[in-house]
Amino acid sequence: MLLNLLEETRYEKVPVKIYDNDSEASFDVAKRIAAIIKQKQAEGKQAVLGLATGVSPIKVYKELIRLHKEEGLSFKNVVTFNLDEYYPMQPDAEQSYVRFMKEQLFNHVDIDMANVNIPDGTLAEQDIAAFCLAYEQKINSYGGIDVQVLGIGRTGHIGFNEPGSAPNSGTRLVTLNDLTRRDASKDFGGKENVPTKAITMGIGTIFKAREIILLGWSGKKASIIKKAVEGNISPDVPATYLQTSDNVEFVIDQAASVDLTRFDLPWLVKDCVWDDVLIKKAVVWLAKTLNKPILKLTESDYNNNGMAQLATEFGPVYNINISIFNNIQHTITGWPGGKFGADDSQRPERAEPKVKRSIVFSPHPDDDVISMGGTFIRLADQGHEVHVAYQTSGNTAVWDDEMLRYVEFAMDFARSQSQDAAYLDNLYKSMVEFLKTKQPNQSDTEPIRTVKGLIRKGEAIASARLAGLADQRIHFMDLPFYDRGKFQKEVSYEDDIQQTMQLLRDIKPHQIFTAGDFADPHGTHKVCFEIILEAFTRLRNLGESWTKDCWIWLYRGAWHEFEIHEIEMAVPLSPQEVYRKRMAIFKHQSQKDVPVFPGDDAREFWVRAEERTQETARLYNQLGLAEYEAIEAFVRWKFE
């Protein structure tokens, strides 16, 4: 058994413990920390903890609080040293790690705040070097850190040790990487508000800890986890330095593990139990790796690339190639609503009924056309009853000056019609005054949110009309969770679910299209999908007959696409349809050029969308399929 495990993990250069989900992992880590605290208490010593901030440790801290309140775990003998803090940063600021640690842990346990140590973001810059030296000396005075909790950033940073950090670095002032600042932009209301510097423990400081636990959750971290665990040691990915420690363990959930070789490419490390999905994935991988069409793959290609077992068990390989080629070919359809009267046994969608009721759920007011605009247009052109439901107002993603421009227009229009504009004048003045003192990430006033929401609503209507929809089939849900989440940390989704159930009851769709971007577990797309799924599941359990004939299709956003082996429906677009899709995206004028939250990609949304779908078409062609201008891809959601 040990030999088999070593073979499976031979690409991995640090111990990795994988849990089904982040909750289970966090509970286990909290128990490990609690055991250290109790052991030190029994020895009459202080437990020295190195703590991290961010999303990763929140559930660990929540469980530690539970252990304190329900099982009597005391923190009176605990001394803590935090990894880092933004600079400059006031301790009471919303983004301060001092405030974070108090809200997430310290305010809820019996720790002596004199034993809490967090880098000081209020220092004069000339005083930072002396502070950092004293921070190191204080850690040493306690005999070092017993257990250090780490997260990992998408640059591979640990603490704020960005690419280029030295393995022996100590506590110091650093300049933040652009990607790190982009990732923090939502917390600060825009990247321009994110500090450019931070004070951080060094990699050398972290290495002195007697135990190091790195936490990684969600598919968003899968790529960097793979680099940190399997890549060569490099200053370009500071977390790779952890490979040289004997005291480190990566604790991750299944979603964060998917890029590790033993899960992503298991045929390279062990004999596999081959099923249709794994065979398709392996053959597509082989064709892409060798840059060969599927039908040109040979037995030696299989044997030389870790797939000899597949060739032996299911060969000859040409039969495998033919089967996978046909499978992929059958995903291609110009009839996303099904082709009436045609044999649908090899088609992704049903032929009947001839006219389907289709609803496209769009988390934000532009996801529909960005992600599946060509399919949206095709469904309408082919005579289906197409509805679009915009789940949130999207009011967060409108620039303040854009909002003022619309209010100014309303004022000028009122005057041009000889109407009294006094109310608008006063409203405008109050908006300007609010914006003068608006803090980063501060929620807008209700009138400002309303105007921003109306801007997005008008753009969405124009876009949906261009796609061919009648106004009565354009639905604005404005789900309450979206604005409520700006003011409450604990958000209920029951009213969102009830509202979604009612819309589904009214339409009784044969097809539901919904965003399937699950990489970020805290993103709007994920929440919106879960609301739809819960609403649909409840209706299904209530025995509503239409749910038996309703299929759910997932689309992806503008940032990345489904992998070729995952795609179950591929809708090819002509050059003319690509152009119409572009025009529909252009109707969302507030999101053009530079959107408020652009993510990692500097390209405009329409460029991302076109290049993403063109890349999917190129990959299909590379595998030996027909050459198309672009392809939009979908995966069908299947209930267990």
Count of helices and strands (H, E) across the chain: 23, 17
Q: Assess contact for 327 and 284: CB atoms under 8 A.
A: no
Residue 50: its H or E element: strand 47-51
CB atoms within 10 A of CB 533: 17
Q: How far apart are CA 341 and CA 351, in angstroms?
A: 6
The residue from 63, 85, 162, 610 that is catalytic is: 162
In 3D, which of 149, 398, 122, 400 has the Cα closest to residue 251? Answer: 149
To 5 degrees, how large is the angle CA 64–CA 68–CA 70? Answer: 110
CA quadruple 457, 458, 460, 461: dihedral positive or negative? Answer: positive
Residue-wise burial string across 257-276, b where 16 or more C-beta atoms lie within 10 A, e elsewhere: bebbbbeebbbbbeebebee
Instruction: Specify the residue for token string 């124009």.
Output: 462
Residue 199: its H or E element: strand 197-200
Residue partners of 86: CB distance under 8 A and separation at least 6: 95, 96, 97, 121, 194, 195, 197, 198
Q: How far apart are CA 362 and CA 98, in angstroms?
A: 37
Q: How far apart are CA 181 and CA 93, in angstroms?
A: 17
Specify which residues 74 forms β-bridges with.
Answer: none
DSSP labels, 359-413: EEEESSTTHHHHHHHHHHHHHHHTT-EEEEEE-S--GGGS-HHHHHHHHHHHHHH
Q: How would you classify the pairing of strands 212-216 and 551-555?
A: unpaired
Q: How far apart are CA 414 and CA 422, in angstroms?
A: 10
Q: How far apart are CA 361 and CA 243, in angstroms?
A: 44
Instruction: Specify the residue for token string 């933040």.
Output: 176
Residue-wise burial string across 353-368, b where 16 or more C-beta atoms lie within 10 A, e elsewhere: eeebbbbbbbbbbbbb
In 3D, which of 547, 553, 561 has the Cα closest to residue 617? Answer: 561
Q: Assess contact for 594 and 397: CB atoms under 8 A.
A: no
Q: Is 120 left (phi over 0), alpha (psi -120 to 50) or beta?
A: beta
524-541 and 494-507 are packed helices; what angle lies between their axes, rounded to 10 degrees?
Answer: 60
User: Quick check: is 446 catalytic?
Assistant: no
Could you list the active site residues?
162
